[in-house]
Amino acid sequence: MILDCSSKTLFEIEKEGIISKLTDELQKKQPDENVIAKILGKLGDSELLITFKYLEATGNSDGENYIKQVYAKRRKSANYGSTFADETFYKVDATALDILPPYSFIIEFGFTLEKPYISKGDENFMIIENSIKREKILGCPYILGSTWKGCLRSALWHEGMKEDDEQITRIFGNERHKNESFRQGRLHFFPSFFDRVDYEIINPHDRKTRTGTVPILIESIPSSANSKFSLLYVPFDLTGKKEEESMRQMLEDLKLIVEGIKAMFTVYGFGAKTSSGYGIARNIVKNGKVYTDMSTKIKEENEAIELPENFRKYLNENGTVKSELVDNTTGTLLSNKKFQKKKTEHGFQSGNEFSQFKRWYEENGESYMNSLSVKDSSHNVGEFTSFAELIDLTKVIADMNAQPNTAGGNPDE
C-alpha cells in the first residue's frame, strides 16, 4: 500500500477517540456492523492500515476482520487509473521495426478475463495479506513482463516442449550457470495493467473434520476485467546470417509463440492457482495485431511487378485503371474495338500497346496495387479477433514467405 504522508498518526487517531470507540463497540456481545463501518469510514486508507496494524499488535482479531471488510468494499469500488499507466508505460510503436534487426515482429491485443486472476504481491505492510501485485508508483494492479514470460514458457512446457530445447532457449534465453554460457532470449514482454480488483474467499477445510477453519480473503482481478498484452520479438543473434536461415527461424518461432499464447490464455492460464482454474481469458480479443518485418519480401515483390513505363499512362496513382478505359456496362477493360473508337479522344495512340497492357494488367494488376499499398512501409500489419484467428494469420504469413515469388511472370518459366 502507498502510504499518504498527510494521513494522521496513530497518536492522532487515538486522540480523536476513534480507537476507543471502535474497541468499545467490538467488546459488546453483538457489535453493530453499521456503527463500526461509520467509525472506520472516518479513516483514509493509510489510517485504516495504521489502525489495522495496531489491532493486529494487540491481538484484536475481530477488529482486524472488520477493517478488512471495510477496506475490501472500498477497494472494489475504486478506479486505479490504469489508463494513465497504459499511456505512460504501455507504448508499443510499430515503427520500431524500421530500426530493429530484420525479421523482428510485434504481437499485441486486448483481452478479457474469463476467470479471476490472482498473483502474489511483494508488499508486507498491507491490510489484506494475500494482495494482488501492484505497480509501485501508481498502485494499480498489473502483470509484470517477466510474469508473462514465465507463464508462456510454462504453457509451452505443458504442450510438450523441453526446457533445454534449442528453440526454447533461443526464444526465452537461459539462466546463468558456471558450466554453460549465458544466452539472452529474443522475446521481450510488456506489462499489463488493470483498473479494478475484487476479492475471493477461500475456506480451507480440516482434513479430519472436513469442516471449514478460517476463511481466507484473497485479492484478485475479477472476471470480465480488460487489459492489453504485447510482446516484441527481436532476433538480434541472426544479424549477418543468410536471409533464408533468418526467415526460417523467424517463421518457426512465430508459429511456436502464437501456439503458446493461445494455450496460455485459454487452457493453462497465467498467475497463481491456475490448477484451480484461475487466470483464463476469453478466446475473443480486441484490436489484435501482428506487425511483421517484411521489408525483404516487399522489395522482391516490387522488383518482380515493376510497371513498364509505357503502361503508366493507363493507370491512376493508386494502381487502378483510368475510368475512360473501363467499360461502364461490364466493369472490365475496354475491348480492342471500343478502345479504337476512344483512343484519339483521350490522347491514347497504339491499339497494340493497349492490348499488351491488358494482358499485363490481367496477370499483375492486383499484385501491383497491393505492392503500392505497402511499398512505403517496412512492416506489414495482420489483424485478428480471436486466438484461433491468430493461429490462422501466422499460417498465412508463413505461406506467403515460403512460396517462391512468381508475380509478374509465368511460374513455369
Q: What is the DSSP letter of 117?
A: B
Residue 412 has pLDDT above 50, yes or no: no
My answer on whether 272 and 313 are in the same domain is no
My answer on whether 69 and 115 are in the same domain is no
Per-residue pLDDT, 409: 41
Per-residue pLDDT, 378: 45
Would you say 295 and 378 are in contact if contact means Cβ atoms under 8 Å apart? yes
* Segment 159-212, tens digit of pLDDT: 988 877 889 989 998 876 645 667 788 999 999 999 888 888 777 666 666 665
Percent of the chain with pLDDT over 70: 77
My answer on whether 185 and 328 are in the same domain is no
Per-residue pLDDT, 155: 94
Answer with the residue of higher pLDDT: 329 or 205: 329
Q: Residue 110: name the closest of 290, 291, 292, 288 by CA.
A: 288
Instruction: Kindly indicate the confidence band of residue 88, based on its pLDDT and cuts at 50, 70 and 90.
Output: low
Per-residue pLDDT, 265: 97
Residue 259 has pLDDT above 90, yes or no: yes
My answer on whether 195 and 311 are in the same domain is no
Domain assignment present for 384: no
Residue 75 has pLDDT above 80, yes or no: no
Residue 219 has pLDDT above 90, yes or no: no
CA separation for the pair 105, 231 (Å, rounded): 9
Count other Cβ atoms within 10 Å, centred on residue 395.
12
The residue out of 274, 292, 310 marking a domain boundary is 292
Domain assignment present for 356: yes
Would you say 228 and 92 are in contact if contact means Cβ atoms under 8 Å apart? no
The residue out of 52, 76, 100 marking a domain boundary is 76
Domain housing 22: 10-76
Domain assignment present for 383: no
Q: Per DSSP, what are the bridge partners of residue 177?
A: 180
Domain assignment present for 386: no
Instruction: Kindly indicate the confidence band of residue 413, based on its pLDDT and cuts at 50, 70 and 90.
Output: very low
* Largest Cα span, the chain: 106
Domain assignment present for 358: yes
My answer on whether 240 and 93 are in the same domain is yes
Per-residue pLDDT, 314: 81
My answer on whether 33 and 121 are in the same domain is no
Q: Which three cell numbers stand for residue 34?
A: 453499521
My answer on whether 183 and 204 are in the same domain is yes
Q: Which three cell numbers stand for residue 28?
A: 459488546
My answer on whether 199 and 266 are in the same domain is yes
The reply to whether the predicted model has a pTM over 0.85 is: no
My answer on whether 233 and 87 are in the same domain is yes
Residue 246 has pLDDT above 90, yes or no: no
My answer on whether 283 and 215 are in the same domain is yes
Q: Residue 200: name the closest of 259, 261, 271, 265 by CA.
A: 271
Instruction: Kindly indicate the confidence band of residue 295, based on its pLDDT and cuts at 50, 70 and 90.
Output: very low
Q: How many domains does the chain have?
A: 3
The residue out of 248, 273, 292 marking a domain boundary is 292
Over the chain, what is the mean pLDDT?
A: 79
Would you say 230 and 96 are in contact if contact means Cβ atoms under 8 Å apart? no
Instruction: Kindly indicate the confidence band of residue 84, based on its pLDDT and cuts at 50, 70 and 90.
Output: low
Domain assignment present for 2: no
Q: Residue 383: name the closest of 286, 272, 303 by CA.
A: 286
Residue 1 has pLDDT above 60, yes or no: no
Instruction: Kindly indicate the confidence band of residue 113, based on its pLDDT and cuts at 50, 70 and 90.
Output: very high
Domain assignment present for 399: no
Domain assignment present for 114: yes
Residue 391 has pLDDT above 80, yes or no: yes
Q: How many CA atoms lie within 13 A of 90 on its CB side?
A: 23
My answer on whether 148 and 215 are in the same domain is yes
Cα 76 to chain centroid, rounded: 24
* Segment 28-66, tens digit of pLDDT: 888 888 888 888 888 877 788 888 888 888 888 888 888
My answer on whether 129 and 211 are in the same domain is yes
CA separation for the pair 143, 50 (Å, rounded): 28
